[in-house]
Amino acid sequence: MSTMLSQSVATLTASSYLHRPKRGLPRIVQRVPTRGVKSTLRRVVCSADYELLYFDARGAAETSRILFAVSGVQYEDSRYKFSFVEGKPKVEDRHAEDKAAGRFEANLDRLPVLKVNGSAIGQSKAIERYLAQEFGLAGSNSIQAAQIDAYCEHVRDISTAYGKERGSPFAPMSDETKEKIEKWFAETLPGWFERLEKATGPDGFAVGEKLSLADVCLHQLVTAGTMGSDERSLASLCEYPKLDAVVKQVH
């Protein structure tokens, strides 16, 4: 799974995406040659020293990584490698050492953790909202900010509903689970998308007239995680032109 996740990271995002600057270097604002988002890229003037700690997988850190990529802000992308032993993920020893040293306390000893100039932020969604705010991806006013927040929660509801059908992403699919997933793509997901389409803006963005965290969240739903790794996720968008346009903006 780790390989698959890392590969898709490389194909989905900017070429500088995997660039890992050394800590302490001045932050360099750069244009990121991401397809489709060039017109919405802003020059982000940013003096913060960012380090994002997570596993070498997309998981709960990927939306934050995309936020860095589309904003052209450099950060240290610290990843703990893992392999599968008897079907279960085994993380490199450095993870346990760093945990014991208290590096993950901001997320109750879990990951991701974002370090900003020495301060630590836990909880992936709090990190995403913070970065969106910092990078101008949280709307133009407080109403839009709330609408973006709501859109991200819609996406999270869909992801959670899928997770209930799928069960552990590490477990092999039983015949019963396969049946549930067939039904998910044939009936349940279209039901969600029909409603989400109506809640999506007409200009190629989920909310308002420019790229926001909401667009990145929708993109992640259909391209990352266990649902996104199923090709039916992206394929299902063809019936929903507004959702399709949003995902293409980020792609």
Task: Tell me: does residue 27 bind ligand GSH (CB under 6 A).
Answer: no
Residue 107 in contact with ligand GSH, rule: CB under 6 A? yes
**Among residue numbers 123 through 152, which ones bind ligand GSH (CB under 6 A)?**
123-124
Three-state SS string across 69-104, please? Answer: HHHCECCEEEEECEEEECCEEEECHHHHHHHHCCCC
Query: Which ranges of 101-188 would DSSP assign to H, the alpha helix?
Result: 124-134, 142-166, 175-183
Query: Which residue's Cβ has the minimum distance to ligand GSH?
Result: 110
**71 near ligand GSH (CB under 6 A):** no
Query: Could you tell me the smallest distance in angstroms from the CB atom of residue 78 to ligand GSH?
Result: 13
C-beta closer to ligand GSH: residue 63 or 236? 63
C-beta of 82 vs 185, nearer to ligand GSH: 82
Using CA atoms, how far apart are residues 91 and 82, in angstroms rounded to an integer? Answer: 4
**Residue 210 beta carbon to ligand GSH: minimum distance, rounded to whole angstroms:** 26
Q: Which long-range contacts (CB under 8 A, 24 or more apart) does 199-206 make?
A: 199/151, 199/154, 200/151, 200/242, 200/243, 200/246, 201/242, 202/242, 204/245, 204/246, 204/248, 204/249, 205/246, 205/249, 206/148, 206/151, 206/246
Q: Which range, of 19-27, 39-47, 105-113, 197-205, touches ligand GSH by CB under 6 A?
A: 105-113
Please select the residue that binds ligand GSH; options are 19, 42, 81, 110, rule is CB under 6 A: 110
Find the binder of ligand GSH among 21, 36, 59, 167 (CB under 6 A).
59
Distance CA 57, CA 34 (A): 20
Nearest to ligand GSH of 59, 163 (CB atom): 59
d(Cα 227, Cα 211) in Å, to the nearest integer? Answer: 23
Instruction: Considering only the C-alpha atoms of the chain, give the largest distance between any 2 of them, rounded to a whole number of Å.
Output: 53
Q: Which of 9, 14, 52, 60 binds ligand GSH (CB under 6 A)?
A: 60
The distance of closest approach from Cβ of residue 89 to ligand GSH in the complex, given in angstroms and rounded to an integer, is 9
Nearest-approach distance from CB 107 to ligand GSH, in angstroms: 5
Q: Which residues contact ligand GSH (rule: CB under 6 A)?
A: 59-60, 107, 110-112, 123-124
